[in-house]
């Protein structure tokens, strides 16, 4: 059943458009894909090299809430997961995105936008296990 009260179509599309704009500017000006897991993971590679732009991009993400807070009220950030669950989730996201060569941004936005079959498959797969995991947590274990 759709939760119409929680549904925020305008800010969702507008926020999505900003994400798309950032990805578009990055590929057109820098020639790089704005995939967050790849940008972060590349820093942990011993044969790195291009550290500066990665740190700059991450710096932008880290600074975003502070600057956003000047103009608009920061949204709530409610995390229901317990600490052990958060640690497990972080580990899975870290290993999974690196093995799968991408996350929601690299595959889900940039990859789907350029119609990459690999990214379409990856997006379908992580959405599927995402749905399944929440189903198990909320309706099987938590039922």
Partner 1 sequence: MQIIIALLCGLIFGFGLLLSGLANPAKVVSFLDLAGAWDPSLALVMVGAIAVAALPFALAKKRKYSLLGAPMRLPSARAIDRRLVVGSLLFGVGWGLAGICPGPALVLLGMGNTNGAIFVVSMLFGMAVFEVLESRRAMMHPQ
Site for partner 1 in 23-52 (CB under 8 A): 23-34, 36-37, 40-41, 44-46, 52
Site for partner 1 in 96-125 (CB under 8 A): 96-101, 103-105, 107-114, 116-118, 121-123, 125
CB of 71 to partner 1, least distance (A): 9
The reply to whether 141 sits near partner 1 by the rule CB under 8 A is no
3-state secondary structure of 23: helix
CB of 4 to partner 1, least distance (A): 9
DSSP string covering 11-72, please? Answer: HHHHHHHHHHHHHHHIIIII-----HHHHHHGGG-TT---HHHHHHHHHHHHHHHHHHHHHS
Site for partner 1 in 60-99 (CB under 8 A): 60-68, 72, 74-81, 83, 85-99
Distance CA 124, CA 97 (A): 14
């Amino acid at each position: 059943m759709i939760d119409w009260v929680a549904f925020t179509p305008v800010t969702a599309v507008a926020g999505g458009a900003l994400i798309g704009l950032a990805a578009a500017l990055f590929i057109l000006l820098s020639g790089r894909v704005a995939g967050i897991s790849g940008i972060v993971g590349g820093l942990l590679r011993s044969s790195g090299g291009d550290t500066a732009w990665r740190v700059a991009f991450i710096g932008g993400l880290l600074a975003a809430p502070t600057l956003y807070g000047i103009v608009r009220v920061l949204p709530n950030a409610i995390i229901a997961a317990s600490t052990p669950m958060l640690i497990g989730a972080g580990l899975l996201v870290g290993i999974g995105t690196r093995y799968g060569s991408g996350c929601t941004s690299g595959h889900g936005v940039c990859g789907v936008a350029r119609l990459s079959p690999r990214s379409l498959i990856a997006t379908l797969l992580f959405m599927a296990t995402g749905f399944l995991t929440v189903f198990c947590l909320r309706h099987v274990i938590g039922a």
